[in-house]
Amino acid sequence: MVDERVLIRLSREGDHAAFGQLVALKREKAFRIALNIVGSEIDADDVAQMAFIRLWSSLERFDENSRFDPWFCRIVVNLSIDWYRTRKRAPLDPLEAVEASGGGAVTGALPDAILPGADAGLMRDELRRIFNRLAMELAPVQRVVFTLREIEGMPSEEIAKVLEIRPSTVRNHIMAARRILQDQLRKLYPEYARGMRP
């Protein structure tokens, strides 16, 4: 496999094949981030497509001395927030999304070792549905920060750079999002909240 930096450089020079490889390398992550912000597989697919279109047109502005993932993540996040705000509707139930797309939800945070066997897909769908319902209570920036930190595992300092906010603000958003999600989980899905500290 070609080095990511080489793919970026060749893509900047107009190499469509290299850009196709770069898209293949980043497609799943872009989709997953968009999905956790917009809440619908169909919408997340649209956002990811727009992100790659935006990437192609703005690659010449990428500073090759900096890291690519946070820079590209910012494109995906900004497009996802815009999409989420303009749609102003509740996320699709994952069963509707699965029927519409012909596939299952991607969570990225649930290894098969935790969810073995045929029940893994059903559990992922259930968790996706619950997360979408609970996340409706979050402000868009809280949803973004929670997605990047807790689902994507991005460090707070990197999230701060992506969103152009202070790391302390990131931590405040994470704490607020956790509190809201925990409160809503206890209220709406008490069977999943057993053992949680109040």
Give domain status of residue 197, yes or no: no
Give domain status of residue 9, yes or no: yes
Q: Domain containing 29: what range?
A: 4-192
Rounded to whole angstroms, the Cα distance separating 24 from 80 reads 19
Rounded to whole angstroms, the Cα distance separating 130 from 125 reads 9
Give domain status of residue 63, yes or no: yes
Instruction: Give the model's confidence band at 104: pLDDT under 50 very low, under 70 low, under 90 confident, else very high.
Output: very low
Written as six digits, the tokens of 117 are 């066997």
Helix axis angle for 94-101 and 119-135, nearest 10°, is 120
Rounded to whole angstroms, the Cα distance separating 35 from 20 reads 21
Rounded to whole angstroms, the Cα distance separating 133 from 129 reads 6
Q: Determine the 3-state secondary structure of 39 from DSSP.
A: coil
Tokens 């992922």 -> residue? 124
Give domain status of residue 198, yes or no: no
Q: Is the pLDDT of residue 98 over 80?
A: no
- Give the CA-trace dihedral at 36, 37, 42, 48, to 10 degrees: -100
Give domain status of residue 150, yes or no: yes
pLDDT of residue 91: 45
Q: Is the pLDDT of residue 194 over 80?
A: no
Rg (alpha carbons) of the chain, rounded to whole number: 18
Q: What is the pLDDT of residues 5-22, one digit of tens each?
A: 999 999 999 999 999 999
The percent of residues in the chain predicted with pLDDT above 70, rounded, is 80
Q: What is the pLDDT of residues 145-154, one digit of tens each?
A: 999 999 889 9
pLDDT of residue 198: 54
Tokens 């996040």 -> residue? 77
Give domain status of residue 181, yes or no: yes
Rounded to whole angstroms, the Cα distance separating 192 from 178 reads 15
Question: Into how many domains does the chain fold?
Answer: 1
Rounded to whole angstroms, the Cα distance separating 19 from 108 reads 24
CATH code, 147: 1.10.1740.10
Mean pLDDT of the region 50-66: 94
Higher pLDDT: 84 or 197? It is 84
Average pLDDT for the chain? 82
99: number of Cβ within 10 Å:
11
Give domain status of residue 64, yes or no: yes
The percent of residues in the chain predicted with pLDDT above 90, rounded, is 58
Mean pLDDT of the region 129-139: 87
